[in-house]
Structure 1
Amino acid sequence: MEVILKEDVTNLGHKNDIVTVRPGYGRNYLIPRGIAILATESAKKVFAENKKQQAHKEEKIRNEAQELAKQLEGKKVTIGAKTSSTGKIFGSVNNIQIAEALEKDGFNIERKNISIAEDAVKEVGSYKAVVKLHRDVKVEIDFEVVSE
């Protein structure tokens, strides 16, 4: 079953992609929630026309994301956390704290666009996170967790 995605879906595709999914997944999950529409011939024609109109806007957004990526490249963020005497953090550091630290530096990035390479950051040290600014633009930033 082919569907046209109306929004980004993790591990499936991006907005306006035509993807093939199992019939039950499309019929029972994607279409009722408004995440996708059925890819009929008429829907594909409308989709092609909309894609032509969106191309210019998409290029502008991509260029803005690349400019932001250049500013973020080599950026190092410091995050303070309460720790024990051995250097273990009470709790863990996640994408919310990274987004807040970036916002203090003047970068407004949604937390859902930040992913940490490690499963959970539970100790003081240096780590890396990937910031997805656009479907084609990703930048890796370093962050350091220090004891408060």
Structure 2
Amino acid sequence: MTDPLLVACPHCQSLNRVPAGRLDARPDCGRCHQPLFTGQPLALDAPGFTAHVERGQLPVLVDFWAPWCGPCRMMAPQFEQAAAQLEPRVRLAKVDTEAQPALGNRFGIRSIPTLALFHHGRELARQAGAMGAADIVRWTRAQLP
């Protein structure tokens, strides 16, 4: 039997213990009773980043972007499609580098869009530039152990 994973709630950020074999069973948060997986990317601020990336145990693919960036806006619907395909095994999240400059600086984001894949709080891989949904899914799966 595998140990349960800590999964942060996309609504209230509380951590939930979910057996790995039950991720596909559409679990709800024990605190707010909302679904733990929505099939949509989450917008993260610093506390959300801590909950999902640093404390949560799911891999998290983060799109570092900005509202004024044309390629970022073009990639947004592709990123949403990738979220629907990758959840619940990978959480997808977005960090607006204009609204959250400290997070962009912390990870040395120099160009946007930049995708960074994290697992157990550690960055596993990074890819700069806009990508289509199929490429996002393929790239993410190729980076996971």
Report the TM-score, using the length of structure 2 for normalisation.
Answer: 0.25
Higher-Rg member (1/2): 1
User: Higher relative contact order at CA 8 Å, sep ≥6: structure 1 or structure 2?
Assistant: 2
Report the TM-score, using the length of structure 1 for normalisation.
Answer: 0.25
